[in-house]
Amino acid sequence: DEVCDGRDNDCNGKTDEPEATDAKTWYADKDADRFGNAESSRRACTQPSGTVSDSTDCDDAAGGIRPNASEICDGKDNNCDGSTDEDSAINAKTWYADTDSDSFGDRGAVKKACNQPGGFVPNLSDCDDSAASISPKGTEVCDGKDNDCDTKTDEPDATDAKTWYADQDADSFGDKVSSTRACTQPRGYVSDDTDCNARAATTYPCLLY
């Protein structure tokens, strides 16, 4: 039997032929990434140029695709694990849960993925992901909640905020030319605007008969 020992064991005038019993199998490594193509192999006693002993390369035409390579979002199996664009890809995007389907996400419910998962959005600006009416595009109303996610509640521009009138003389009647809007009654203001002398507590209201 021919073996890899530098001798012509079978007296055929050749030494260490590919059919030697202990010849190794070598795999083509065209992209020089030190991982070989299982579908392109040859047997030899010594390592032929352009081959390696490993056969786990899944794309021998791309040096960046090989076992242990970093997975990226490009539709390719970069690390030869049989999957593409896994959530662990180094450039996977961050997505935020949109439970109330208002197109604004919850910063506290995060998922990494190459492609947008169902029920997730790319922004994290929702301040209440359980109510579709509460979002950065929500309308502020007088309800004790931050409807438009600006970190404030019941602002003067709330759609149902009331108009209040200054009652400088504390006679419970207000001055129509001095008003403010608010969800709750400000101190020194009343809902009435019929005072005709805001500086005289004994003069109120000015009704025409």
Q: E strand or H helix at 189, and its extent? A: strand 189-190
Per-residue pLDDT in tens (0 to 9) along the chain, 209 residues: 999 999 999 999 999 999 999 999 999 999 999 999 999 999 999 999 999 999 999 999 999 999 999 999 999 999 999 999 999 999 999 999 999 999 999 999 999 999 999 999 999 999 999 999 999 999 999 999 999 999 999 999 999 999 999 999 999 999 999 999 999 999 999 999 998 876 665 666 655 43
Helices (H) and strands (E) in the chain, counts: 0, 9
Rounded CA separation 111/141 (Å): 32
| Amino acid symbol at 170 | A
- In terms of pTM, does the model score above 0.85? no
Rounded Cα–Cα distance for residues 53 and 57 (Å): 11
Residue with tokens 């690390």: 79
Report the C-alpha dihedral over residues 98, 104, 109, 112, rounded to 10 degrees: 90
